[in-house]
Structure formats: structure tokens, C-alpha cells
Structure 1
Amino acid sequence: MSGGSDQRKDIIYINGDRRNHCFLTSGITFREFASNIPSPLHNLLLLKHDFEWTDINYHTLLEFVEEENIPNLISADVEQFGEFCWVDFHDIHDLDELDPMEIAELLYLAHKKEPIGKPFFPLLKNKYVYLSHDDGWYNKIYYRRLPDFAAALSKIVPYKLGLFGKRKFMLFQKTKMYPAIAREVMEQLIPLTEDGLLIDLVHKEESKRGLEIPVYVVGSYENMDEIFENIVQLREEAVEQGVLLFDKKDQEWKWMTD
């Protein structure tokens, strides 16, 4: 299955490495990420991209996006960039203070999709390192604060459901919007990402209790093609599975296991 398949938009796969504050995902786009992280992005130092609304820093010879152009980047067709890698930073003047080794580490990050040492740069005060190929297909993100990933995912799942609704409902019919997933539910889900978590929005179902989304633990993978080429078998052989339930009566998300 190619990276361009529509199925990836309806399935979220997460391979988590909490010790290194890193989450490899498929099924979450830059737009979904940027729209649901706890605080808005400000300045981005672009390491690999194909975005036109940029400035150049002549000390590093790297392009960057200032806060005023972030909305243009969020609405861009990032998937068409191919590789899209960046780190956020606090102050534009700090770019002029980066030493040759730090610049080399940034270039290595984008090339190898992993840091030489730590992925966070004291001078830049970056919260994120975003490394993607065919955005939404292979996204590797380092989070300075681990809770930021849980906070983002708690909103991304409902956000995606709202977008799916717009595709399927008739014109002028209101899209159903869902609340964020509660922190206590996320605390049960996030540890499962260490063994490869699959949230299957393709097979979501309406039941008497509410909306049910199947969730599977399918193993840790780096190659996204390997997951989607064997998706049926992985579902059948899942080590552990449960249901993410939006309870109609209580109007909240719950985690249900067998």
C-alpha cells in the first residue's frame, strides 16, 4: 500500500518511545498536529520543506517561518513537500548564535530523522522536533514535554471525527463535534503506544451506548507500509484490544477493555 492511500487518514498508528520523548505516528497530519497542540506554534526553523512564505537566516543559511505566516503553512498541502522537517524556536536573533556543531546537529536531524545527542537545543528553546516524510504517512516527533503528546492526541481523535463527518453528512446538516478525551483515559492509552497502538477509525460504529472505536496493540514498526500491507492480519492477531467509547449518556470518552 502506498503512502498516498486514503486509508491512512482513517487509521492512527502510534509507536511510542517515552524514554526519549519520541512518538512515531501515521495517520496524523501536520495540520491536525498544529491545530491541536496545547499552545500555538510561533517561529519554525525549516530543515526540509517546499514552502514559499519563508525568510532566510544568513548565519545558518536555513529558512524559517515567522508567526504571521504559520497559518499559511498550516493550510498548505504539506504532504506534497515530500520531506518536511523543522524545529520551533523562541527568538529570531537566537539563530545568529548557533555554533557550527549545533547547525550540523540540525542538518543531521533532518537527514537521519534522529538526533546525534539530545533533540532539544537550549538556545532555541524548542518544544518540538518534527520529522516527516509524506506528511501524515510517516511523522516522527520529539516532545520536550511528554504530556503535550497526550494533550494533542486527546483532541486529534475528536478533530478527525468531525472532519470525517463533514465528508459524509448532507449539505447544511451540522457536523457532530466531540469533546477532548479525558486525561485519565489518555493515561491508560499512552503506555500502550510503547507496543504499537492502532486506533481504527475505519471501523468505528454507532451502538446503543454511543460511538465505539476499536483500538489494537499491534507491535512496534518503523515501516508504515508493513503495517498497512498486513492490516487485516494485525487486527486479528492483536495482543490486546479495547474500545474507545464516546458515551452518549455521559457525553464523555471512556476506555473499555475485554
Structure 2
Amino acid sequence: MKKVKLPSVDEYVHHLFVHGNEGQNFALFSGLTFPTVLHYFADTNVIVLLEHGYEDASFDMHTQFEYIVQEEFKDFVTSLKDQKSRLCLLDVADEKRLIQLSPQEQAELLYVAHKKETFRSPFYHTLKNRFVYLGDESDRISKVYFREYDEMMRLVVHLFNQLAAQKTRSNMFFRRRVQQVVPELIHEQFILFEDLLEDGALLSLARLDDGSFRLELREIADPSFPDEIMQDVDTYLTQPTLGLLPFVARSKMED
């Protein structure tokens, strides 16, 4: 069998640690930030900010929660580059739904913000929320609750496809429409490794000498300090891979 040559450290584009928990519908991440989550849930209308450092949020009198609407998302994301504060936020279908939250439900959301965990599902019929995002001050570790757990796998695929597309984006500014070949990680291939993510895995996106992309998967079962994994990533890269997923070239039209 031909031995697979692993990339050099400089050929890696991004590393992501994932530790899923399907039983409680959440996953721990290192290497995932809120802008990526928001980009994935692109049709989000309102974000409730339970813990944050943003100064221009609106205020809901019923719950006394702060929130932002879609027109403010860009400013909020920009502010995240400078602020060093913990985040606890969730999406809401419409800010008017906040008035329907009972005192018990409000208390449960405050518990999530304080404890970074839940004692029952943080998803409510009244809010129609799909995710709850928790991030630390250093942006090294995040925890995301999903109403539908399979969104976790799709979010990870979305992240790596977004990164690969950014690396291959055309520099042709003078043609209005350009035929581009975009690398794509296929969800149906990636989902075969879902059990590995339940144990804890390091996912490494590499750009190879021929310009193609590959995702490498390595097991990191139950690390004691998941927020420190990226500090030791070079050591983890010496471990054997449990999966090598190539990206497929897809053609599409770009403006």
C-alpha cells in the first residue's frame, strides 16, 4: 500500500477541535467563532445577547434582555474583533416573541448564561430558536447547543468549505462573471465520521502541493483542557490519522 505523505505544518489552513454530545444536543469547539455560526444560520433575524460586550444593543422591557436585529449584525461581528468578553447568545425568529417568555423560561436562559450549561432544553416553541452559542473571553473554546443535532455536522462542513473557497477565490476583477472551480467537502462522506467527533477529534484542513485540499481527522478523546489543544497542535499532528477526506472540485459562476 502506498504511504500517504502528510502535509508540512505550513500547508495547514485551519485546525478545528470538536467534541460532540448528541445526548444533550451540544458540541464543544476550539477553532470555531461566532461569525462562522452566524454565516451558517444566514437567515437569522434576531439575536438575543445574554452576555456580551456590545454597547449598541436594543432593550426588551418584558425580559430585560438585550438584542440586535439583522441590520446590526455586521457592526456586532466587527465589534467582536476588539472586545474580550464572554458571549452567550441565541437566535430568535422575531423580537416580538420575547414578550411571550414566561418567568421560568427567562430564568432558564439566565442559568445558561451563568453556568454555561442547561438543566433542560434551551429551545422554546415561543422563540423558535435553533442555536445557543457560548464563547469564552479568549475565543479559544466555544460551546454550541443545536435544536437539530445534525446541524452540527453541517456547520463543520460549512466552515471548511468556506475556508477552502476563500483560499481559491479568483483575483480576476475585470470580468463580470467568472467560471470558478471551487473545492468542496462532501457532507455524505464527512458524516461517516460522526462517531469519531463524539469521542473528540482534531480536524485539520490542508492545502497540498498541487493546490487541492484535504481534511485530516485525528482522535483526541476526552482532553482535560480542550481550550489548550491549539497550543499543542503540532504534537497532535504527529499522531496517525483516522480519516483523510479529499475535497471535490465543483464549477460555479461567481460575480
Give TM-score, length-normalised by structure 1: 0.78
Residue 102 (1) aligns with residue 100 (2) = no
Shift of 1:110: 1.0
Partner Cα distance (2:188, 2:116) in 1: 31
Question: Please, which of 14, 19, 34 is the counterpart of residue 10 of structure 1?
Answer: 14
- Distance of 1:180 and 1:226 partners within structure 2: 29
Say yes or no: does 1:228 pair with 2:230: yes
TM-fit CA distance, 1:216? 0.9
How far 1:222 sits from its partner (Å)?
Answer: 6.3
Taking structure 1 as reference, are residues 205 and 223 closer, same or farther at Cα in structure 2, changes over 3 Å only?
A: same
Higher relative contact order structure (alpha carbons within 8 Å, sequence separation ≥ 6): 2
Contact 1:22–1:142 (CA under 8 A) maintained in structure 2:
yes
Structure 2 residue runs of 5 or longer lacking an equivalent are: 1-11
Structure 1 residues 36 and 11 mapped into 2: Cα distance closer, same or farther (>3 Å)? same
Residue of structure 2 in register with 1:58 after alignment: 61
- How far, CA to CA, are the matches of 1:185 and 1:158 in structure 2? 14
Native 8 Å contact 1:46 1:85 kept in 2: yes
Q: 2:216: which partner in 1?
A: 214
Secondary structure in structure 2 of the residue aligned to 1:82: coil
SS at match of 1:118: coil
Give a deviation string over 1:151-174, Cα, whole Å, max 9, x none.
2222210212334567xx9997x9
Asked if 1:191 corresponds to 2:192, the answer is: no
Q: 1:86 to 1:96 in 2, by over 3 A?
A: same
> CA–CA distance in 1 between the matches of 2:192 and 2:26?
18
**1:26 and 2:23 correspond:** no
Cα RMSD (Å): 3.0
Matched position secondary structure for 2:126: coil
Q: Output the amino acid matched with 1:246.
A: F
Give the Cα–Cα distance (whole angstroms) in 2 for the partners of residues 192 and 130 of structure 1: 22
Kindly report structure 1 stretches of 4+ aligned residues shifted beyond 6 Å.
169-172
* Superposition deviation, residue 41 in structure 1: 1.2
Distance between the aligned counterparts of 1:55 and 1:190, measured in 2? 39
> In structure 2, what is the Cα distance between the partners aligned to 1:147 and 1:27?
19
SS at match of 1:88: strand
Query: Per the alignment, do residues 94 and 212 of structure 1 end up closer, same or farther by CA in structure 2, a change over 3 Å counting?
Result: closer
Q: Deviations over 1:206-248 (max 9, x none)?
A: 359x32332211113363344234334433345x522121245
Corresponding residue pairs, total? 236
Shift of 1:65: 0.9
> 8 Å contact 2:13–2:204 — kept in the other structure?
no
153 and 126 in structure 1: CA distance in 2 versus 1, 3 angstrom threshold: same
Give the deviation of 1:28 after TM superposition: 1.6
**Structure 1 residues 200 and 182, CA gap change in structure 2 (3 angstroms):** closer
Residues of 1 paired with 2:88 and 2:81: CA distance? 11
Equivalent residue for 2:96, pick from 90, 93, 97:
93
Mapped contact 1:154–1:181 kept (Cα < 8 A):
yes
Structure 2 Cα separation of the partners of residues 137 and 79 of structure 1: 15
Question: What's the CA shift for 1:79?
Answer: 6.5
> Amino acid of the residue matched to residue 140 of structure 2?
W
